[in-house]
Amino acid sequence: MLETTSRIRPLTARPLGSRVPGRRWTARIRPAIGYVILCLIALLFLSPLIYMFATSFKPPAEIFSVPPKLFGSEFRWQNYQEALNYMPFLRFMGNGLLVSAAGTALTLVVSAFSGYAFSRQRWRGRNLVFMVFLATLMIPQEVLIVPMFVMMQKVGWVNTFQALIVPWAFTAFGAFLLRQFFLGVPQELDDAARVDGAGTLRTFLLVMLPLARPTMAVLAVFSFISYWNSFLWPLVVINDVNNLGTIPLGLQMFFGQQGNQWHLVMAASVISMAPTLLLLILLQKHLVKGIVTSGFGGR
């Protein structure tokens, strides 16, 4: 207890010109020590990824060296070449891009409309319906895969892209996020549009939607990432991995076949992570905002 007291004093209540010079010295050094520890924690946290990256360039014979080394005797770019030869990772990326982009587009469209309906339009049963929407957020995807698979069988969608795209585009997360945004838009904007003779549809499309762009961006990022990383459902519904597989599916299959070729597996892992890492670095602001406003994003 005493220690924490002395830690907070210098920052708030300590008078100028302290009486105990020794204490001032520790007070100055302590945050620095804390900072070093924080950096070490971050480094330790990153070590699996650093290790992955390092291993992906090592010659196969040097992977399990004791002690573990960061660099091998040579820098083996061929690992990536070989991994790409074993599995069409570029096609998986293309497939993932197609599925994620289409799913995201669908999500954006339906969520924009419903978010608007739940915030700025008055209709009977609105709040009840919105409650039902929110309640569906508590239903995990995983418990739905069996019936979803049977439904896909009935409509002949097993082993198709639309089976990957359509079923998960209707998450209530989108409606929630956009409703939240539209609630904050001043009513004067609607009125002004109406005075200018715009109907509901035009007000929505030409006035409201452009305003909602930042929120739509947040939703788009999350939707894209959750499609891109989705694993269990593609595993169930896609049989033809070589042609229709996405990155997680391809990596899992690659691991199943070449599991002991760790240099290749790590190269494949780097390839799998690269697009999302890039997205994270470029769009970190949107991501943080989406999580902070909803607490859901992509979960």
Partner 1 sequence: MTLLKPTKSPRSEVAATISLGKAKTKVKAEPDAQLGRRTMWGPAFALPHGLGLAIFTLLPIVVSLVISLFRWPLLGTPSFLGLGNYQRLFSDPIFGQVVANTVLFVVLYVPLNLVVSLGLAAWLTPRIKGRHIFRVIFFIPSITPVVANVVVWRMLYQPGGFIDGTLQSTTGVSAPNFLGDEHWAMMAIVVMSVWQGFGYNMLVFSAALDAVPENLTEAAAIDGANAWTIFWRIKLKLISPSIFFGTMMTLITSFQVFAQPFILTKGGPGSSTSTIVLYIYNQGFQFHQLGLASAAAWILFVIILGVTVVQFLGQKKWVHYDA
Q: 55 to 114, contacts with partner 1 by CB under 8 A?
A: 55, 64-68, 109-111, 113-114
> Residue 243 Cβ, how far from partner 1 at the closest point, in Å?
19
Backbone angles phi, psi at 235, to 5 degrees: -60, -35
297 binds partner 1 (CB under 8 A): yes
Q: Which of 39, 189, 10, 222 is nearest to 116 (CA)?
A: 189
Token digits for 107?
């999500």
Stretch of residues binding partner 1 (CB under 8 A), selected from 6-14, 20-28, 79-87, 97-105: 6-14
Q: Helix or strand or coil: residue 151?
A: helix
Specify the DSSP element, H or E, that contains 75. none
- Determine contact, residues 278/254, Cβ cutoff 8 Å: no
Provide the terminal-to-terminal Cα distance of the chain, rounded to the nearest Å: 39
207-266 residues in contact with partner 1 (CB under 8 A) are: 211, 225, 228-229, 231-232, 235-236, 247-248, 251-252, 255, 262, 265-266
Stretch of residues binding partner 1 (CB under 8 A), selected from 14-22, 71-79, 83-91, 268-276: 268-276
Please tell me the distance from the alpha carbon of residue 257 to that of residue 255, in angstroms, as a whole number.
Answer: 5
Nearer of residues 72 and 167 to partner 1, judged by Cβ: 167
Specify the DSSP element, H or E, that contains 167. none
- Determine contact, residues 89/268, Cβ cutoff 8 Å: yes
> Residue 209 Cβ, how far from partner 1 at the closest point, in Å?
12
Q: Which of 24, 26, 44, 45 is nearest to 34 (CA)?
A: 26
Nearer of residues 28 and 299 to partner 1, judged by Cβ: 299
Backbone angles phi, psi at 184, to 5 degrees: -90, -5
Q: Which of 175, 218, 219, 244 binds partner 1 (CB under 8 A)?
A: 175
106-165 residues in contact with partner 1 (CB under 8 A) are: 109-111, 113-114, 116-124, 126-127, 129-151
Q: Which of 20, 29, 51, 192 binds partner 1 (CB under 8 A)?
A: 51
> Residue 248 Cβ, how far from partner 1 at the closest point, in Å?
4
Instruction: Please give the size of the binding site for partner 1, defined by CB under 8 A.
Output: 120
Secondary structure letter of residue 122 according to DSSP: -
198 binds partner 1 (CB under 8 A): no
Please tell me the distance from the alpha carbon of residue 65 to that of residue 68, in angstroms, as a whole number.
Answer: 5
15-34 residues in contact with partner 1 (CB under 8 A) are: none
Half-sphere exposure of residue 119, counting CA atoms within 13 Å on the CB side?
23
Nearer of residues 90 and 146 to partner 1, judged by Cβ: 146
Integer angstrom CA distances of residue 295 from 109, 129, 153, 177, 223: 22, 21, 34, 10, 14
281 binds partner 1 (CB under 8 A): yes
Q: Which of 17, 48, 156, 210 binds partner 1 (CB under 8 A)?
A: 48
Stretch of residues binding partner 1 (CB under 8 A), selected from 17-25, 75-83, 97-105, 291-299: 291-299
7 binds partner 1 (CB under 8 A): yes
Beta strands in 71-159 (DSSP E): none
> Residue 227 Cβ, how far from partner 1 at the closest point, in Å?
11
282 binds partner 1 (CB under 8 A): no
Q: Which of 156, 184, 197, 210 binds partner 1 (CB under 8 A)?
A: 184
